[in-house]
Structure 1
Amino acid sequence: MGKEGNTIYWQAHRGGGAYEAPDNTMAAIRYAWELGGIPEVDVRSTRDGVIICLHDATLERTTNAPDEINTLPASQLTFEEIRAWDAGIKFDEKFAGEKVPSLEEMFREMQGHPERMAYLDLKEVDLQQLGAMIDQYGVNKQVIFTHNVQENCKKMKQITQGVKSMQWVGGSPDKIRATFADVLASGFEGLDQVQIHLRSQEGASDWPYVVDREFLQYALDETRKAGVDLEVLPFEIEGGAIHSLLDLGIRWYATDEPARFLQCINEWKAQQ
């Protein structure tokens, strides 16, 4: 973290769940690791206190749970009830049999493999319980805790030694600027990374994003001075746009499309 140069680091948002692997499953997590990335999972708790990897509050979008189950919050279901349903087949039949994983399943595959890192995006979890589990499995230095509230990032780092943290910053360009100003004014307290969401603008010619180039350069300069990584999440992966970000000097990314993103990276490297 905090390294500069031409090494490019990247997060597989939801493990690449939007396009390339079923959302928040062990298949998606392993896929990101195999490609050399850092999978991101969303953490929330079941009724019986099991921490699971699930983005949405319900099972409706990602599993084949029936109507009487799939609209109930996961917090009202037991882990056994959640595991009864397939979390891969709706994405693609070749992923049939995937289940909503417990966080412990992922941690077990991280133990003894320090190169396997993971982002944990807070949804609905007791932070003390999460911290105790991280300590139990000894994966502290492999975890990057993430949320859009800086106070939660600070709290997690106080609970669990060695864990890194990232605050994600989204919304309109004005909101992104205002939130970044607040984080900067705090001296990036409790943060190792800041992520800025990048949405594309229609009919762009010289710059593809609604967040302007000058602001991104400013954010990159300020984070570098503080020894903090600036990560960006471009929601659309297109070679020229990604190359513009690389030319700017940004070296940390998040993507919904790991394979396409890597293709853009390799094309850029070939031009250097």
Structure 2
Amino acid sequence: MSYVNFVKKYKLEIAMILPLLLYILGFTIYPIIQTITLSFQDQYTKAFTLANYREIIGKTEFKQAFFNTIALTFISLTLEMTVGLVIALILRRNFRGKGLLRSLMLVPMGVPTLVSGVAMTYIFGLYGYFNALLQKLHIIEMPVDWASGGFKTLLMVSVADMWKVTPMVILLLSAGLESIPDEVYEASNIDGATAWQTFKYVTLPLLKPSITMALILRAIDAFRIFELVLVLAGRATPVISTFAYDEYRNYANVHTSAAASTILLLIIAVFIVSYLKIAGTKEER
């Protein structure tokens, strides 16, 4: 089949998919290639160099941003997987109001990240609801500045991120729980296993593929966190994405910003490759 005949035969399909291809090429592929290219260019001569990477690696701000990104991802994943698994196990049981609870659970997914970040400032602000609650319980005497930096700021952003994205984790784990046959639990019950033993030796091993998928997908997203950190913590607690933003927007360092973005891209690419390998292994089985 010639090229002309192919176009004539599939002209409708080509017309429908062309805008998407142009969007991906113009707003995803080309910017990525341009960013990687800039990261290896000298600012003045445009020659190939690793100076941009040496410059940002030598900066204390980048080291702090790198550490914060790893720590924030670890804390967020721990909270999301724990809360997500508990809620998924609850939703597996039949009880009154289950449908309503499942519907309410999905609400955070529909809230824009920027809006959820602003909403969280009313909770974790200096005179927010959380500080007011802690003072009423006599846990603290003076309001805590959760956005001042350090571990408490990472914890605050992780909790905000957990509220926003845990529904996705719940959906993934719920799908995994639904795939476990009831006969397995019946056999466990006949053998006299306790609820904890059933969870440890039956549910967790069979749920491992879904847990792995949820971990990798959430890790990819967690490394890209930007809006929540910018809204809740500002520049007090930088991550790689906000560091790259500051280098470009506030200091006009296009090449060092590109280098930081490329490092973040490399980290995310590792998790994407891991996800594709695991997904491929699961399909083969």
> Into which bin does the TM-score normalised by the smaller protein fall?
under 0.3
Question: Which structure features the higher share of strand residues?
Answer: 1
Larger radius of gyration: 2
TM-score (norm 1): 0.21
TM-score (norm 2): 0.21
